[in-house]
Amino acid sequence: MESRHCPFCTLPAARIVAQNDYALWIYDGFPVSLGHSLIIPKRHIGSFFDASTCERAALLGLLDQAKATVDAEHQPNGYNIGINDGEAAGQTVPHLHLHLIPRFLGDAADPRGGVRWVIPGKADYWSGR
């Protein structure tokens, strides 16, 4: 990791749940659900599209590991998996990270559309509004 001012480059070791050669897994510091996890490359890069093939494989490997652990610990009914890539997409920490957000029946009144709700006015295509 490289940047002294990046919160993901300066994570305390105690926050790291698991890691491999290219990436690490932590629980989100501001979780939206039980088990909300972040998968982060060790190299300081901002965009998924700047990640190498090895980094992408490492990220997805930890994503699988995090999902298996969260399944065992919390038994969610589904997941949202997301990347905010760029300021216009809502990225607030300029270090690539994947969100694994466990979802539970009843945690939202109508969860249809999932990640489509990043632009609320265009999310609902099913009701004929």
Q: Which residue has the tokens 């599209």?
A: 49
pLDDT in tens, 69-117: 999 999 999 999 999 999 999 999 999 999 999 999 999 999 999 998 8
Domain enclosing residue 103, as ranges: 13-123
Residue 123 is predicted with a pLDDT of 83
Residue 3 is predicted with a pLDDT of 74
Cα separation, 127 vs 129, in Å, equals 6
Question: In the structure encoding, which two tokens stand for residue 96, read together?
Answer: 């690539």
Residue 79 lies in a domain: yes
Comparing C-alpha atoms, which of 20, 19, 109, 101 is closest to residue 67?
101
Question: In the structure encoding, which two tokens stand for residue 69, read together?
Answer: 């652990």
- The reported pTM is 0.93
- Reported as a pLDDT band with limits 50, 70 and 90, residue 119 is confident
Q: Choosing from 36, 74, 95, 97, which is the catalytic residue? A: 97
Residue 81 lies in a domain: yes
Residue 17 lies in a domain: yes
Residue 127, helix vs strand vs coil: coil
Q: Which residue has the tokens 């890539």?
A: 85
Q: What is the DSSP string of 99-119?
A: EEEEE-TTSSS--TTGGGGGS
Cα separation, 71 vs 124, in Å, equals 29
Question: In the structure encoding, which two tokens stand for residue 32, read together?
Answer: 């939206």
**Among this protein's residues, is 36 annotated catalytic?**
no
Residue 92 lies in a domain: yes
How many distinct structural domains can be found in the chain?
Answer: 1
pLDDT value at 1 more than 50: no
Residue 78 lies in a domain: yes
CB 115 within 8 A of CB 80: yes
Residue 112 lies in a domain: yes
pLDDT in tens, 24-60: 999 999 999 999 999 999 999 999 999 999 999 999 9
- Reported as a pLDDT band with limits 50, 70 and 90, residue 2 is low
Q: Cα angle at 114 between 85 and 56, to 5 degrees?
A: 40
Residue 4 lies in a domain: no
- Reported as a pLDDT band with limits 50, 70 and 90, residue 125 is confident
Residue 89 lies in a domain: yes
Q: What is the CATH number of the domain that holds 62?
A: 3.30.428.10
